[in-house]
Amino acid sequence: MKISSSKRHTLTGAIIAVLISFLGMGIHSALANDDHYLSYKVKSVEEFVKQEVSLDDQFLDDVVFRVNNPMTFLVPTDKNEEFFHESETHLISYVISTSEELPIEDNLLSIKNQFHEDFIEISVSPVPNRLLVPATKLSVDGDDTGETGLPEDTNHYLCYPIFYSFEKLSVMVENQFTDLREQMVITPRHFCNPVDKNEEGITNPNDNLVCYIAKPHRDNPDRHKVETLDQFGELTFETNKEKEFCVPTEQMGVDDVPKIAFVTSSTHTGDLGGLSGADDICQNLADATNVAGGTNIGAPKQYLAWLSIVDEDSPSTRFIASPFGYVRVDGVPIMTTYDPAVAVPELLAHINVTESNMVVTGSFIWTNTDNDGTPRSSFDCDGWTLPTGFGGANGQNVASLSAWTRGGITFCSREHRVYCFEQ
């Protein structure tokens, strides 16, 4: 269920800037729900019975929260006469708390929405304080809506306080509670991402919301008595003034950025312990290394060695292709993609940076692999288990064209490095 976590930060600081520039418009929107919501403060008519739920999202692993009380009612809203789609789907925002220990460091994310055409970096508090629950509106001011049952195919959202610079603006809004009018949007308040509640799953993992403080309208708000149904039961409340305006938002996540490739800082004979042993070398180096201002490039990310054994395995059969390409540990792009069905073109940059962000030049690399990821020859040091004899095919990490992987053949007793690619 994980998309990422505090243990799986997107690359921070300068690396994020490089990735955004590198990807440009290549990042696509995959939002299933593009509704906007205007939220209204609520006052419950009857007392809400506090409940406990287990929540699991990209930042937290199965943390038990107490759901304390309803705070706002989120109503689908037409922004600037753009049309909204799921008018029957509403959300109720609940105040939540937990006694469990939570992370203390902010999360850094890159997001974009209709208020930010390009990806921007935001700081997200590690402690969520709101849970958005899908709700059905049963009646308004005593009038039956004809709607029954719980909403389907709609996310729950866990909301975190956020901090970033924003210039207030105005939009035109219209919904079931208000005619078309101007609404001031003041400052960002919450980042709300899909959450798995009680192991029920996530319907649309790419959908997020950013909620901005909405300036209450100068006229006295029309108060409405609303009956709703959600997974906590039936709830009756009175709506009050506007609270937040929530906008569908796209997140640049770990699946939407280039993956990392590095050359090992260590050197080895042709006895790498087979492919699995070489993979362990890559994984152990990544797991033990913090780079880019504290970002761990290792676990739970997986790394495999760019190695082939004739008539057995190779990158073309083992690797999970990265549609967004690969970058070095320092953020420099080296491949726009790797597709086993298509030969890899000349590298954009040499793979000469180690897992610890150190530059090494003029090094030979064990490979026995063509630049399309297939086995090059039978020279694989007997399946990468032979510490002596002849021979092993290699590449050179500062070579041009295909020689970065398709170079010469040498004795297995020589000590060379290994290329490692994130999966």
Per-residue pLDDT tens digits for 361-375: 889 999 999 988 899
pLDDT tens per residue, range 243-283: 999 999 988 764 567 889 999 999 999 999 999 999 999 99
Q: 408 and 290, same structural domain?
A: yes
The stretch 191-198 carries a mean pLDDT of 96
Locate tokens 């705070």: which residue?
71
Q: What is the pTM of this model?
A: 0.59
Same domain flag for 330 and 231 = no
What is the per-residue pLDDT for 270?
A: 97
For residues 209 and 317, membership in a common domain is answered with no
Residue owning tokens 């975190």: 160
How many residues are given for the chain?
423
- What pLDDT does residue 219 have? 67
Residues 68 and 193 in one domain: yes
Whether 298 has a pLDDT exceeding 90, the answer reads no
Q: Determine the average pLDDT of the residues in 32-36.
A: 78
Specify if 206 maps to a domain. yes
**What is the pLDDT at residue 276?**
96
Kindly state whether residue 252 falls inside one of the protein's structural domains.
no
On whether residue 251 sits in a domain, the answer given is no
Q: Are strands 130-140 and 90-97 parallel, antiparallel or unpaired?
A: antiparallel
**Domain match, 216 and 142 both:** yes
Position 204 scores a pLDDT of 87
* Of 193, 224, 246, the domain-final residue: 246
User: Mean pLDDT in the chain?
Assistant: 85
The percent of residues in the chain predicted with pLDDT above 70, rounded, is 85
Measured CA to CA in angstroms, residue 253 lies from 10, 40, 182, 229 at distances of 6, 30, 33, 33
Tell me: pLDDT of 209 over 50: yes
Q: Which of 196, 226, 246 is the last residue of a domain?
A: 246
Number of neighbours of residue 14 by Cβ within 10 angstroms: 12
74/109 same-domain check: yes
Asked if residues 196 and 217 have their Cβ atoms less than 8 Å apart, the reply is no
Q: How confident is the model at residue 226 (pLDDT cuts 50, 70, 90)?
A: very high
The whole-number pLDDT of residue 297 equals 72
pLDDT at 64: 97
Res 38 pLDDT > 80: yes
Give residue 26's pLDDT. 33
The domain boundary, picked from 211, 246, 281, lies at 246
Q: How many domains does the chain have?
A: 2
pLDDT at 16: 36
Q: What residue numbers bound the domain in which 59 lies?
A: 6-246
pLDDT of res. 251: 86
For residue 256, what pLDDT is reported? 62
Domain identity same for 340 and 266: yes
pLDDT-derived band at 24, boundaries 50, 70, 90? very low
Same domain, 270 and 242: no
> What's 403's domain CATH number?
3.10.100.10
User: Is the pLDDT reported for residue 227 higher than 80?
Assistant: yes
In a domain, 253, yes or no: no
